[in-house]
Amino acid sequence: MSAVLPVLATRLSAAAEAAFGTPYDPELRAATKPEFGHYQSNLALRIGNALKLSPRDVAARLIEKLQIDDLCEKPSIAGPGFINLTLLPSTLAKAVNEPESFTGNGQRVVVDYSQPNVAKQMHVGHLRSTVIGDALCNVLTYVGYDVIRQNHVGDWGTQYGMMIEQLLEEGRTAESLDLEGLQHLYERARKHFDADGNFADKARLRVVKLQSGDPETLAGWQHMVDVSLDDFEKVYALLGSNLAREDVVGESAYNDDLPQIVAELDHQGLLTESDGAMCAFLPGFLGRDGSPLPVIVRKSDGGFGYSATDLAAIRHRISALHADRIVYVVDHRQALHFDMIFTLARTAGWLPETVPAEHVEFGTVLGPNGKPFKTRAGGTVKLVELLDSAVARADSLLEGRDGVDRTATARAVGIGAVKYADLSSDRGNDYVFDLDRMVAMTGNTGPYLQYAHARLTRLLSKAEASTEVTELKDPAEQRLALLLTGFAATAAQVAETLQPHRLCTYLYDVASALSTFYELCPVLGSEGTTRASRIALCTATRTVLQDGLGLLGIEAPDAM
């Protein structure tokens, strides 16, 4: 059966056309209170205002033309002219038994996310991009997109020239260093670069050698890349991310394309020389002082900035990957950069108007003091240490619980708690990293949803199999069933808006409705068709919770 809401909307629109000659959008919404039924529409008020008619009279005429006897009870009119619709229990039951599914939509979406830097350990700043990106890829795949993941790691540019030049001055080789050693090397090189102009000049020239393919420089750089990617894979495995080595397409992958990027932009008259650098000045992009802001595609020393790399990536994703949609999961501080890059790429003809390019912005992870999350010493919090802390906290909560694989469950609950806390708030907002709140078994948390799933699993293990809902007599049953029919629509909404918190809110509503259902509707204690129908409703709820958590990248343990 197709989703109930679109069917109702189509029929109400047809009623408007029959009564008033225009197929208005009914804008059906879930009712705010049980006494208003399941859905409400303010269509009569809008038509009444447009045609200078009484909204209640308009509502009566709409209901006269509305053909929904097979789906709903008799519609009612409330207040100034709201139309209330209540689904028949049989309609709800059928919708639960025959959930909506998706097929391929023929669209390819490229999702760029995570983006750690080579020679640096992943830190808390990479958490949001990775978690949000994974969830969006899962949802986009679920609704029918062909998803291509791209991990645009920072493996090119000035810092590698600095580090390799620092190694040469120290008489050492990159092969002697692990990732932690490389990070310390970067810190020494950065200080040297900032304090010594002569060293800074040599480092910049070393970048040009790297970009030109100098064998000695490339060998040191390649070791840095290999060591870093090995470490990234371990962090992704702990986080439960779907990113793989083959998804890594770093800045270096576009190096050979960069001269052509500059040549094409220059040929189109889009570049201007400014202090030796080649820049694009786009209309409407001004600094705080009102001066034009440049997109620097080639620096004065002959090297290429990351703007050139981003332009090459866009061109590759359109011409080689044949993207119909491009999504970038990058923090809000890069909003202006991507606005300028997308504008320049469209101006150059590399990014067609028919292909949306969307910057999925997100806020900052804050500490308990409300400031960006740092270590006590003021340093950046390593992601692996943060995740280990979450798993340890979850493990302590499981102490003394029987029948639980404590190690596996602690990992699922701890990592799931971190992910859910990140995803459940509007991604544009900052949020406070509070482990105590994250791992709580009550409230809008990952463990609360995981426990709801585990509780259902335990209940169903004691019941006979039943997969068909046949009756929904109690309002608590109907409320739960109505929510279950909205899973596909919620996933589609997340795929459109790229806002995963909408799925979190939906799943929390399902778990809350399930809790009320438990209190008011005995399952194993009921008999006959009521028992069988409630077991089937529990089975459907378990599936929605499991699938929904899966889309968020969160495991659903069978026992907790």
Q: What does the alpha-carbon distance between residue 250 and residue 229 come to, in Å, rounded to a whole number?
A: 11
- Mean pLDDT across 556-560: 95
Residues paired with residue 365 on neighbouring β-strands, in sequence order: 431
Type of residue at 188 = R
Q: Alpha-carbon distance 391 to 128, whole Å?
A: 18
39-95 pLDDT tens trace:
999 999 999 999 999 999 999 999 999 999 999 999 999 999 999 999 999 999 999
Place of tokens 């409230």: 443
286, two tokens: 């001004």
Q: Which pLDDT band, with edges at 50, 70 and 90, does 32 fall under? A: confident
Rounded Cα distance, 491 and 498, in Å: 10
Mean pLDDT, the chain, as a whole number?
94
pLDDT, one tens digit per residue, over 247-305 is 999 999 999 999 999 999 999 999 999 999 999 999 999 989 999 999 999 998 888 88
Q: Measured between alpha carbons, how far is 493 from 163 in angstroms, rounded to an integer?
A: 45
Answer whether 28's CB lies under 8 Å from 15's CB: no
For residue 180, give both structure tokens.
């932690």
Q: What is the chain's length?
A: 560
State the Cα angle at 113 between 107 and 118, rounded to 5°.
Answer: 140
- Average pLDDT on 190-216 reads 92
DSSP structural state of residue 447:
H
Report the candidate in 451, 447, 315, 326 with the shortest Cα–Cα distance to residue 391.
447
d(CA 81, CA 79): 5
Determine the angle formed by the axes of helices 446-461 and 406-423, rounding to 10 degrees: 130
Q: Over 80: is that where the pLDDT of 3 sits?
A: no
Confidence of residue 157 (pLDDT cuts 50, 70, 90): confident
CB 560 within 8 A of CB 450: yes
DSSP string, 158-225: HHHHHHHHHHHHHT--GGG--HHHHHHHHHHHHHHHHH-HHHHHHHHHHHHHHHHT-HHHHHHHHHHH
3 state SS for 490-545:
HHHHHHHHCCCHHHHHHHHHHHHHHHHHHHHCCCCCCCHHHHHHHHHHHHHHHHHH
Percentage of residues in the chain with pLDDT exceeding 70?
99
**pLDDT per residue over 461-509, tens digit each?**
999 999 999 999 999 999 999 999 999 999 999 999 999 999 999 999 9
d(CA 139, CA 120): 30
Q: How far does CA 547 lie from the centroid of its chain?
A: 16
Q: Which residue has the tokens 């002697």?
A: 176
* End-to-end CA separation in angstroms for the chain: 35
Segment 112-152, tens digit of pLDDT: 999 999 999 999 889 999 999 999 999 999 999 999 999 99
Residue pair 76/84 in contact (Cβ under 8 Å)? The answer is yes
| Closest residue by Cα to residue 418 from 132, 138, 111 | 132
What are the structure tokens assigned to 298, written together? Answer: 């080639």
Indicate the Cα dihedral angle 251, 253, 254, 255, nearest 10°.
90
Compute the average pLDDT of residues 367-382.
82
In 3-state terms, what secondary structure has residue 289? coil
pLDDT on residue 125: 86
Query: CB–CB of 248/229 below 8 Å?
Result: yes
**DSSP helix, strand, coil percent of the chain (3-state; round to 5):** 55, 10, 35
Angle, helices 125-142/215-239, rounded to nearest 10 degrees:
70
Q: Identify whether the C-beta of residue 125 lies closer than 8 Å to the C-beta of residue 77.
A: no
In this prediction, residue 34 has a pLDDT band, given cuts at 50, 70 and 90, of confident
- The whole-angstrom separation of Cα 492 and Cα 255 is 37
Predicted pLDDT of residue 1: 40
Q: What is residue 129's predicted lDDT score, i.e. its pLDDT?
A: 97
Q: How would residue 33 be classed by pLDDT, with cut points 50, 70 and 90?
A: confident
Query: Which two tokens mark 368?
Result: 């308990």
Q: Give the pLDDT of residue 340.
A: 98
Burial of 99 by CB count in 10 Å (0-12 exposed, 13-18 middle, 19+ buried)?
Answer: middle
What value does the mean pLDDT take over residues 149-177?
92
> What token pair was written down for 327?
């999504």
What is the mean predicted confidence (pLDDT) over 183-201?
94
What's the pLDDT score for residue 88? 96
Quick: pLDDT tens for 313-338: 999 999 999 999 999 999 999 999 99
- Looking from the CA of 92 toward its CB, the CA atoms found within 13 Å total 27
**pLDDT over 90 percentage in the chain:** 87
